[in-house]
Structure 1
């Protein structure tokens, strides 16, 4: 083998390697370039635009389908949500966040104002409560206008009111006795007797003359006290109150509606809720002043149970949620918004080394082919 033959084989190996490397490099470049089709007049230059720009929309659809069918599947996400590590991490993170909130010097009002721009939170809650009470009151009146009070008042409440009638009876009689025994009561009774006698004319004068200098009130007062203390009086008054209470319960709501002041009732219920419900007083206090008793319960019970319930709910309905979320459409739309330059940069950032290896492989194969061709020429020569 002379020097000329060796030079020829080496030359063909070099040329083959250059051609193979350049060919593979050009093929890789043609995946993305040119970005747009090239035309000479009305004639489109072949292989323009590049493969990926030309199939941009189809690539976006296939990527969306691949993500939904093989990557973010309901089964895979469900296993992740049910894993012990995920739930433990979620619980730990929520406990840390809850601790930060509960140990804060800020009030709920301040937090809501800073993060959501809502001012006068308490006034807003009170006004909303008043609106709810007002709507509820109007709806209750409208729906039950033709029902009797007996039908509307709960049986347990009626029993309690029935049990209070003897107490009310005793109270009325005791207050009546106390009033009659007081100087004011005696004076009032005297005025009433004098007025009664004046109205009776001659009969009244005759009664006054018959009694002489004794005041009639001194004789009437003890008898009235005896009447009020008598067991028969108590039974009679109790029976009368019970009868009246029965009559009241038989009235329809429409019959007593005129006696109800909607504005005052709504205001009373709203004030009661405002004073009795702790929420209205605690929202303006620093959270570390009132959350102390609840910290352990929140961290050891509320958060773990809440995470368990939420994860179970998500796992059960995950497939439906993913369908409604339309992940394939989201991926497709995102990929479609990518410029071809951005797609090229993304692909090359992932597969740059592999593309270089393909280029080098093309050079090696081209050199090998050149060596074989040179060897064949040498044999034929």
Structure 2
């Protein structure tokens, strides 16, 4: 028997019907796959963003610039004119001290305010004022930050280590098996699955192109198998002659009866569903190994540095500023107001260097000792 070689036939006529069947299968799976959110491992839950630390000292420092402005204005009315004193043989002149310390304090505040403002402003480059440090070096900041993240924070080796330490793969495999066991034991799931399977087989068999493609493939396989077997070939030709139909017609008739055969034997799927969880348990080590290997390959292909850098470069200047300010705003404000305090201290040094330095040394020394004692 000679079989004419056929070119593979691509089935396109019923692609929409096949899609609808698989969509229905997806709906069945989604209907029963409802994982309990409370069973998520605590180690891998997303953590909420830490709140910005509220610094109590900031509330104390905030009025200082306004006090200094008021003292500066008051110095024009009265500034210890003609006041003086003698302490330990040192002659002290108090005239002008209010203006000195107020101006020094305001300069300290303004210089810190300008320095912090210059980190972010101007956003766009200006002819005379230039551009803020962060917007001017946005690309460089993105590169450095992405490099630090990829090298030290979430590099592939660290991710692999965390996967091994957390045992997340085995954890979720056990969770999935427990869930599969619960689903496969449900009668409504088995009924839905069997109904879908029978409908799918019937729709495929009703497609003439599908039957032709399968029968052509079987004929080619038979021809290859009987290539050097003359006796079997002769027996096959004899059977075709006696039955009054070609082998192609015989195979096609078998395919048409496939839905009836499937419906008659659909009960075997019950046995398969009963054994399915146990089969997964028996091959748990291999499953974990395969999933781990796939994850490692995915991680090795993931370029963390490029991913972080590309996303940071998409940030506009204002968004980048807000990101930095949201994390450090309280500290930046404290630095500004501390500038006023340090400037005021500098004013006392300008007024009377020796006594001021001695007093400051005593004060700072006492603060350091108290801090050391509390720390211990």
TM range (shorter): 0.5 to 0.7
Distance across 2 between alignment mates of 1:376 and 1:355: 30
Contact persistence 2:183–2:189 (CA under 8 A): no
| Equivalent position SS for 2:125 | coil
Equivalent residue, structure 2, for 1:214:
none
Structure 1 segment 1-381 matched on structure 2, within 5 A: 2=84, 5-6=93-94, 8-38=96-126, 44-48=127-131, 50-95=132-177, 97-98=179-180, 101-102=183-184, 107=189, 123-124=199-200, 126-128=202-204, 134-139=212-217, 141=219, 149=226, 151=228, 248=234, 260-262=246-248, 264-269=250-255, 271-272=257-258, 275-276=261-262, 293-294=274-275, 296-297=277-278, 300-301=281-282, 306-315=287-296, 317-322=297-302, 326-376=303-353
Structure of greater relative contact order (alpha carbons < 8 Å, 6+ residues apart): 1
Distance across 2 between alignment mates of 1:264 and 1:34: 83
Contact persistence 2:120–2:135 (CA under 8 A): yes
Unmatched runs of 5 consecutive residues or more in structure 1? 39-43, 112-118, 154-244, 284-288
Displacement of 1:132 in angstroms is: 6.3
| Equivalent position SS for 1:30 | helix
| Equivalent position SS for 1:31 | helix
Displacement of 1:78 in angstroms is: 0.5
CA RMSD of aligned residues (A): 4.7
Aligned residues: 264
TM-score norm. by structure 1 comes to 0.53
Distance across 1 between alignment mates of 2:290 and 2:198: 31
Q: Kindly tell me: are residues 110 and 338 of structure 1, through their superposed partners in 2, closer, same or farther at Cα, counting changes over 3 Å?
A: farther
Find the structure with the greater CA-based Rg. Answer: 1
Unmatched runs of 5 consecutive residues or more in structure 2? 1-82, 86-91, 357-376
Which moves more between the two structures, 274-283 or 345-354? 274-283
Distance across 1 between alignment mates of 2:306 and 2:196: 42
| Equivalent position SS for 1:268 | helix
Contact persistence 2:180–2:277 (CA under 8 A): no
Contact persistence 1:94–1:303 (CA under 8 A): no
Q: Deviations over 1:254-296 (max 9, x none)?
A: x99x95353551451464487349997799xxxxx88872475
